[in-house]
Structure 1
Amino acid sequence: MPHRFVDIVVFRAHRFSLGLEEETGAYFLSMPVSGFNRAAEYEAYFRISADEFERYRGEPDAADDFLETCRNHGNENRRFA
């Protein structure tokens, strides 16, 4: 079944958004990532906890470490398939 991602807040300067996946009710952080050889850019979605959602929503800079880890292919276990 396809995921339905709904953005709640977008932080353009930080290049990520926070929202809710409607089917499961899970919170997510999404960010643009580059494909192979940077030929294409697409949105990647990562599960986050309610606490992370609230922290990043109130202080977007707090997401920097999480974003950097994701960009370096970490947190793959939290990525929506």
Structure 2
Amino acid sequence: MKFREMVAKLDLRFSLGFEEESSSYYLAIPMSNSVVDYEEYYRISKDDLDKFVSGGIDAQIFVEECRRRQHDDLLFFPPGKDRGVPL
């Protein structure tokens, strides 16, 4: 997979981008486990991308829900045994 970051919201700790092979948009949040820091990538629609790019309340709510694992059905990759915690 080729994730191409388009926007990084460092203050809110998420990024938005486009995954080229599947032609899908994503929102990514940083994670850390006992071995490595990494990102979890969540599929989002173009409409969501357009809403989230400003970092407004819609984005903040969605990011917090992802951190609480409420959108695991949207993950590009299923979590492993040593799933990290949000940074």
Question: Same fold by TM (over 0.5)?
Answer: yes
Unaligned 5+ segments in structure 2 are 78-87
In the superposition, the TM-score normalised over structure 2's length comes to: 0.79
Question: Which one of the candidate residues 71, 78, 81 is aligned to 1:75?
Answer: 71
Alignment-derived partner of residue 14 in structure 2: 16
The structure whose residues are more often helix, as a share, is 1
Structure of greater relative contact order (alpha carbons < 8 Å, 6+ residues apart): 2
Q: Calculate percent identity across the aligned residue pairs.
A: 36
Deviations 1:5-33 (A, max 9, x none): 00011111111110000101100001102
4+ residue segments displaced more than 3 Å: none
Counterpart for residue 42 of structure 2: 46
RMSD: 1.4
Alpha-carbon separation, structure 1, partners of 2:71 and 2:37: 19
| Aligned partners of 1:33 and 1:71 also within 8 Å | no
Q: How many residues align?
A: 76
* Distance in 2 separating the partners of 1:74 and 1:34: 18
Q: TM-score, with normalisation over the residues of structure 1? A: 0.84
Match of 2:60 among 37, 59, 64: 64
Q: Report the CA distance between 1:40 and its aligned residue.
A: 4.1
CA distance in 1, matches of 2:36, 2:22: 28
